[in-house]
Structure 1
Amino acid sequence: MNLKDEAAVDAALTHLTALLSENEVILDYQQLKKRVAENDTLKELEEGIQTAQKNAVQFAHYGKPEAEREALKEADCLTKELDRSPLVTAYREQLYEANDLLQHLTTRIQKEVNAALEAESTREGEQ
């Protein structure tokens, strides 16, 4: 690829990135991501889950199976509570939509690049 082609690819990538940053699906995802990150209740639940999991590991290490089971049960309850949060549910749905959009875009780019490479290869073979 020559310098001119690289500049064209860079320009196209910059344009694509700008379009994506303005896409409604991406904007909604980013907004929900920010709300999740700033939500104190969700932070507390995550911290509680991590603490319970760490406790379970410690109890297992020290041979305390009953305490380990209780810690795992607590972590499971907190995880279910986190999973039921409307904000977490909305975030996961939006993440799925954003991922689907990016997968579609990536697949389309890949197909077009492959087609262009095949066409170029065919032209070079004919010469």
Structure 2
Amino acid sequence: MAKYTRAEVIEEAHNLANKMANIEEIDRFKQLEAKLNESNKIQSSIKKIKALQKQAVNFQAYGKHEALKRVEAEIDRLQEEIDEIPVVQEFKESQVVINDLLQLVTNTIAREITNEVIRSTDGDVLAGETGSKKGQSHC
């Protein structure tokens, strides 16, 4: 079995990241993000939400509960309005797809590292045990 340096593994990680950054799902995400950034309606609503969030922090700090409730309700209303826009829905769906893909890659790497450790110690991959358990007496 070949031995690799940490630097070589990091280089491979960069190569994988470059490949992943150029897959269809990521391209779609970038296109949708550009559409979001170009939409004056969406950007205006986001600015309003950010301003209202700052107000909410101030109202909370000064114990102005009624004002806080009104501001939070307005934030919720604006967020729902944004969420109903088709490109926003597509963008959120795209985020889920990408997150699932990243999780799949992460889990695959972790599983394969574990399996390789088990194989390299003459363990049992199906049982998930390294070979270090072999030769131990069971009393």
1:58 aligns with 58
Give the AA of the match of 2:4. D
Give the AA of the match of 1:77. R
2:68 aligns with 68
The count of corresponding residues between Structure 1 and Structure 2 is: 124
2:99 aligns with 99
Structure 2 residue runs of 5 or longer lacking an equivalent are 124-130, 135-139
Post-superposition offset of 1:62: 4.5
Following the alignment from structure 1 to structure 2, what is the Cα–Cα distance between the partners of residues 110 and 63? 48
Report which stretch shifted further, 47-56 or 91-100: 47-56
Post-superposition offset of 1:67: 3.2
Q: Partner of 1:122: helix, strand, or coil? A: coil
If each structure's helix is expressed as a fraction of its own residues, which one has the higher value? Answer: 1
Task: State percent identity of aligned pairs.
Answer: 29
So what's the TM-score if we normalise by structure 2? 0.71
Post-superposition offset of 1:116: 0.9
The Cα RMSD (Å) is: 2.7
Following the alignment from structure 1 to structure 2, what is the Cα–Cα distance between the partners of residues 8 and 53? 45
Q: Is 1:5 aligned with 2:4?
A: yes
Following the alignment from structure 2 to structure 1, what is the Cα–Cα distance between the partners of residues 21 and 90? 20
Following the alignment from structure 2 to structure 1, what is the Cα–Cα distance between the partners of residues 27 and 67? 44
Structure 1 residue runs of 5 or longer lacking an equivalent are none
1:121 aligns with 121
